[in-house]
Amino acid sequence: MRLGIDRLLAEEFESLKGKRIALLTHTGATDRRLQPTVNYFVTSKAIDLRMIFAPEHGIYGAVQDQLFIKDETRGKIPVLAYTVKALSHILIC
């Protein structure tokens, strides 16, 4: 069994080429070598990554509980921090 990110890396993101991509990710999203998935998306020249959605404590979970990050950027890509409740409302609507 291969993880989704490992399949995308093997195909060099071929299935995502020409598409605008928004990535929903968190601390536990890694490849088989435990490298963060977000790093591959941010550095890939093959895809058009437009936005990253992250948990309220940041992509790497570095912010203390009950404290929330503000929206930030990774390079030129906006990183929007949402609570699980807010994100579920956005995805359902």
Determine the pLDDT at residue 1.
79
pLDDT one-digit tens code per residue, 21-73: 988 888 889 999 999 898 899 888 898 888 787 776 666 666 555 555 555 55
Of residues 69 and 19, more confidence is placed in 19
**For position 77, which CATH number holds?**
3.40.50.12170
Token pair for 92: 């359902």
Identify the pLDDT of residue 7.
95
Q: Could you list the residue range(s) of the whole structural domain that residue 19 is in? A: 4-92
Q: What is the pLDDT of residue 52?
A: 81
Q: In sequence order, which residues have a C-beta less than 8 Å from that of residue 71 and are 6 or more positions away?
A: 78, 79, 80, 81
For the chain, the domain total comes to 1
SS3 of residue 64 by DSSP: coil
The whole-number pLDDT of residue 34 equals: 93
